[in-house]
Structure 1
Amino acid sequence: MKFTIGLFLSGMIALATSGTAQEAPRRPAELDAPITLGPDDKPAYPAPPEGYNKRQDLEPRGRLEMVEYESKVVGTKRKMQVYTPPLYSADQKYPVLYLLHGIGGDETEWQRFVNVDALLDNLIREKKATPMIVVMPNGRAQKDDRPTGNVYAAAPAFANFERDLLEDVIPAIDSRYSTNADREHRALAGLSMGGGQTLNFGLTHLDTFAWIGAFSPAPNTRPPGELVPNPEKTIKDLKFLMLTCGNKDGLINISQGVHAYLKQNKVPHLWHVDDLGHDATHWGHALYEFAQRIFR
């Protein structure tokens, strides 16, 4: 996927030289770290079929809209993109997937990278996924939440998003849409920085999320022992955990560490390593698989 203004690999690769040298963030050294693969580092599912996220000339279709909400945590109005499935009705209750972007993105990133609405429309039409609401918020919880300048300087705002998500985003969605507002009908997933947020927020709030998907999680990921201090309780509460990375991704050691800890402590999870890098193709494939496995 090409972009005319810089190369937008999101996650930990954001905004190649556009502007002055002082404004342009540097490529993190972690992305060029040596990659050592182990026997577990192999694909757990096949790549999706051609056209899996292409819009079809078929009805009905879901709806994609940009909505505002009042963030008490940040002290301003913020935006998030929301997908509602085909034939959405207030007479029916829906599960919700919260989908988090990378450090160089915003509430539009997932849609630009993957065509989330088309991907979900196709899966739901083929009865491969449960009709669900998908929320794509801005994970940079600060008043100026645009991905400009040195995007890495906003790392504290990504940590602060934990409160915004729990205290403002989820209540706003539950008040505006017809949701099943309980943990078993709530999923959290994300790419790169958003993958780290997903593990940090999801595994430590299993009273809120039962389904978790971390795709190429970045170095913001907390140590596995902090994420899962009580494996027995995690095993009891977790419905599904999916962890993915490409074998050409210099950040794979983050995911490998999480996988090793989960395996050692017998916490069930899907571990997938494909032949891709830190890129939108990997994230699209991961979402395609994750969406089929949740809310079942």
Structure 2
Amino acid sequence: MLSEWFTTALIKGIPFWLEQQTRYIYPTMDELANQINYVLVHFGIKSFIGFGVGAGANILARFSLAQPKKVDALALVNCTSNQAGWIEWAYQKMNSRSLRTRGMTQAVLDYLMWHHFGRYSEERNRDLSQMYRNYFSRNVNPTNLSLFIDAYVQRTDLGIGRDTDTIKVPVLNITGAMSPHVDDTVTLNGRLHPSKSTWMKISDCGMVLEEQPGKISEAFRLFLQGEGYVAPLSPTKIVAFRRLSDAERRRPCRHSPVIRITENPISEAVVC
């Protein structure tokens, strides 16, 4: 639900008249994080488990710091915890200016492909790579994307650390082995409390959700199970699970801080 809402708001949400307003101020990352409050109020949600990718992961991390009681857990893919460096700032500024003045150029398209897939994307999955090239070329609003890039590159540091204030909820920190954002996730992992965070690098992929959906779904399921949210699957265990109170159902049951990924999905959830 949140991912669909953010896609609409950040990529496709600005109407035509807004493109003509040169003085329009795009929301900052902190302001975008605050927008989650309106979504929660609208749907009557008291707390949630967030799943964010890239900028969405950064937004969810900011919200969890500002409203820790409204977040139960986070699964973050390629999340950045610090502000943009000089190299990133320069590349993004050139891309933003090119998008505003010339639209989706080949240079910007190549950068977007590298940003999402890392290197050698066509060698790993030519069809998926071509699909995203076509999408970026035909379906992305260049002006809107330019404004979003400017907002993201001006993001502030999360200001967290293991010895200071940090994210208080459990975090599943995921990246792909070929992703250009591996170092960013390692930095974030070093700023989270070890007992409440798990860093995971998925092999043979850069864009983990599209290239390795099976491994991600299994990791997320085990993560939820470790936090006490997954119901057992057998009929007898389901009956026993339903007899538990809500607090007992959601009790923490982490047996190990490490989530082990296998090629075959597990057949039955473990009762904690």
TM range (shorter): 0.3 to 0.5
Comparing both structures, which one devotes a greater share of its residues to strand?
1
- Scaled by the length of structure 1, what TM-score is found? 0.40
Comparing both structures, which one devotes a greater share of its residues to helix?
2
- Scaled by the length of structure 2, what TM-score is found? 0.43
User: With CA pairs under 8 Å and 6+ residues apart, which has the higher RCO, 1 or 2?
Assistant: 1
